[in-house]
Amino acid sequence: MLRRLLRRRPRVLASLDAYRLWAAAYPARPHNRLMEIEQTAMTDMLPVLYGRVMLDLACGTGRYGLIARERGAATVLASDNSWDMLKNAVLADTVCASMNALPLNSASVDVVICAMAIGHVQRLEGVMSEIARVLRPGGSALISDLHPAQALRGAQRTFQASDGRTYAVEHHVHAISFCERVFAAVGLATTARVEPTYDGQPVVVVWRLEKL
């Protein structure tokens, strides 16, 4: 859920702690308006997946892996650093690993999808270096995140845990211009960027990148 709280803001949890509490109730589909907007933008920008090797990075419970399977991907891999999310994932081939250290060979993946996760890391360079490393030349990456304008206005991704309390997930704001400098530095060209809006305000940013 996306919420702005001018008073009495919820406690912010590190992403691993947040997903440990959220995992059991986290579905492999969009579960609020923000996620619906994000997924529509992402699926509109997806390259052809039929017959290709796809990595659902920071997969959570596997919503993009499911989409890749439905679109005929030959191999769907899924990685997340949360055991709790992976235990509830709907995908078979999953691995628990940091986004900064993927247990995959270099140039072994055709498409990487990383949805609503780069804001969980303070240093973006390591994550993007790994995405570039595992992608084959000419491969594609789709990256989405909470729009920095929303984060700077105080918006948070929040959830209600089984204890009835509302928590926010840690988020590090990465300016769009900074992200695109990092992408270019690791050999990923930005081929498209969209910033879908809700009530006239951009709520997410989605990039399509190509490995040079």
The single-letter code of the amino acid at 75 is T
Indicate the number of domains in the chain: 1
Which residue range forms the structural domain that includes residue 39?
2-211
φ, ψ for residue 5, nearest 5 deg: -120, 110
Nearest Cα neighbor of 141 from 98, 91, 187 is 187
pLDDT tens digit sequence for 122-141 = 999 999 999 999 999 999 99
What is the CATH classification number for the domain harbouring 86? 3.40.50.150
Strand pairing category for 109-115 and 135-146 = parallel
> pLDDT band at residue 92, thresholds of 50, 70 and 90?
confident
Which tens digit of pLDDT belongs to each residue from 21-58?
Answer: 999 999 999 999 999 999 999 999 999 999 999 999 99
Give the rounded distance of the alpha carbon of 58 from its chain centre. 6
pLDDT tens profile 142-189: 999 999 999 999 899 999 998 899 999 999 999 999 999 999 999 999
